[in-house]
Structure 1
Amino acid sequence: MANPPEAIVRRKLSDEIFDRLKALITSGELGPGDAMPSERELMERFGVGRPAIREALQALANNRLVTISHGERARVREVNARSIFEQVDLTAKMLLSTSPTSLEHLKQARRLFERAMVREAAARATEDDVARLAAVLDEQTRGAADPQTFISADMRFHREIAAISRNPLFEAVSEAMLGWLRKYHTEVLLWRGKENLTLVEHGQIIRHIAANEADDAEEMMARHLDRSSSLYTHTQS
């Protein structure tokens, strides 16, 4: 019996143009900051109308490959570790908002990640790194009475630990995970005395990092995250 014919799916013009414009970027022909050809130039180059060009450019913008400003030509964005996670940011937030289990998975992933990061920090932190951590802790201490200030400093503290790795991917992972978690942070943090416990734990983590005590730093980080895990909860609005 003969196999049924394979259907040929016709592609939209804008999809084909998207691929060609993307190739200009990925090949290096157009680099970060460069302006894309004008809409008229692209229309003449590909022999298509303005709607297909605009749709392709918007798809590039949606994929964070270019930026589009009103009245100006689209420009190629710089691709870096942070931009990788920006592309999945909306999808991750949608998943978390519809799945309490996914929030638990994220907290577990963060626990493993931060234990590794604090070990790395204890192995390679310089005096300047320790000073930056101490400065964030001072800011957090001063802002203990204000929830938003306190939480922002708390998350910056953990990002600074990841940054000590000197690996931009680790720093981007930390920033992404903390950003996804922030929506689920509850006011439990500000129960009387709880904010002081967070400050004490952060101070102990800094001391272990400064003393190159990787095992103690990891143990303290694990205890800190285990205690604070309940601060992130999935509530239905």
Structure 2
Amino acid sequence: MGQPVEQIVRRKLSDEVFDRLERLITSGELKPGDEMPSERVLMERFGVGRPAIREAMQALANMGLVNISHGERAKVLQLTAKSIFRQVDPTAKIMLSQSSDSLEHLKSARIFFERGMAREAAQRTSETDVCELREIIERQRAALGDAEAFISADIQFHTRIAQISGNPIFVAVSEAMLAWLKAYHTDMLIWAGKEKFTLVEHEEILARLAEHDADGAEQAMLRHLERSRALYMK
């Protein structure tokens, strides 16, 4: 038998330009906040036409590596866990809208994650954390009857618990999952009458965090999320 054919695929010019521009950023030659070179400079540097430069620059923008503003030079962005999740937000929402299984998997993943966050936070909660979480609960109480404001405060409460960890990736994961779930919060159908349960449960979670009770915080979080799980429906 002959050797299998290993076909060499000719790459688009814009792909080559993309690789070189990406290296300018990853090597540190261009840093967050720096302006990218002009199209003309890049055309001369790489010996390619304007379409290849523009296509490569758009690919960088789609990855969140640069920001393109009309009439201005593209700027290198600071990559963070939050900015990376923002890049996948639209795609994640489409995936969830197409599959009820995906929504159930996300709800399960969120419960798994939040249980861990409660345990982690219980070991680290400071007086400042307690005060700020209490303020969020009071804002939520003041928002009774205003579903949008109430849900917004709900998201702030859970994200603030993630912040206690000091890990920005935990915070970004928390914000992303809550943002994706928010699109499926059917407040018109089954929201009425549920708000007061949420407030009591949030107070119980906070009490356990303030006492540095990891087991109690995890169980309080689990009870809260298992009850509220039904609020997120397609």
TM-score (norm 1): 0.96
Indicate whether 1:202 and 2:202 are aligned.
Answer: yes
- For residues 128-168 of structure 1, what are the alpha-carbon distances to aligned partners after superposition, in whole Å with 9 as ceiling and x for unaligned? 01111011101100011101000000011000000000000
| Aligned residue number for residue 60 of structure 1 | 60
Residues 10-42 of structure 1, C-alpha deviations (whole Å, 9 max, x = no match): 111111100110011111111110000000000
**Number of matched pairs:** 233
Instruction: Report if aligned partners of 1:66, 1:75 keep a CA contact under 8 Å in 2.
Output: yes
The equivalent residue for 1:231 is 231
The one-character-per-residue Cα deviations of 1:157-216 (angstroms, maximum 9, x if unpaired) are 000000000000100110010011010101155323x11111011011111101111111
Matched, 1:20 2:51: no
- AA aligned opposite 2:33: G
Q: 2 CA distance for matches of 1:189 and 1:203? A: 22
Task: Say which SS state the counterpart of residue 71 (structure 1) adopts.
Answer: coil
Q: How does 1:11-90 map to 2 (within 5 A)?
A: 11-90=11-90
Which one-letter code corresponds to 2:135 in the other structure?
Answer: A
**In structure 2, how many angstroms separate the alpha carbons of the residues matched to 1:5 and 1:124?**
59
Match of 1:118 in 2: 118
Pick which of 126-135 and 82-91 moved more: 82-91
8 Å Cα contact 1:121-1:162 kept in structure 2: yes
Partners of 2:186 and 2:232 within 8 A in 1:
yes
CA distance in 1, matches of 2:121, 2:5: 59
Q: State the shift of 1:94 in Å.
A: 1.7
- Cα distance in 2 for partners of 1:102, 1:184 equals 12
Q: Distance in 2 between matches of 1:204 and 1:55?
A: 53
Cα distance in 2 for partners of 1:189, 1:167 equals 34
How far is 1:84 from its partner? 2.2
Q: Does the 8 Å contact 1:189/1:195 carry over to 2?
A: no
Percent identity over the alignment is 62
Please give the secondary structure, in 2, of the residue aligned with 1:120.
helix
Q: Deviations over 1:38-83 (max 9, x none)?
A: 0000000011111111111011001110000111110000011112
Deviating more after overlay: 5-14 vs 166-175: 5-14
SS for the counterpart of 2:120 is: helix
The residue aligned with 2:192 is 191
State the shift of 1:93 in Å.
1.5
Contact in 1 for aligned 2:191/2:231 (Cα 8 Å): no
Distance 2:52 2:93 in 1: 30
Partner SS for 1:124: coil
Distance (Å, rounded) in 2 between the aligned partners of 1:48 and 1:198 = 59
Q: Distance in 2 between matches of 1:190 and 1:40?
A: 57
Unaligned runs of 5+ in 1: none
Residue 4 of structure 1 and its aligned partner are, at CA, apart by 4.3
Question: 4+ residue runs of structure 1 moved beyond 3 angstroms?
Answer: none
Partner of 1:96: 96
Q: Residues 175-186 of structure 1 correspond to what in structure 2 (within 5 A)?
A: 175-186=175-186
Q: Within the alignment, does 1:7 sit opposite 2:4 as a pair?
A: no
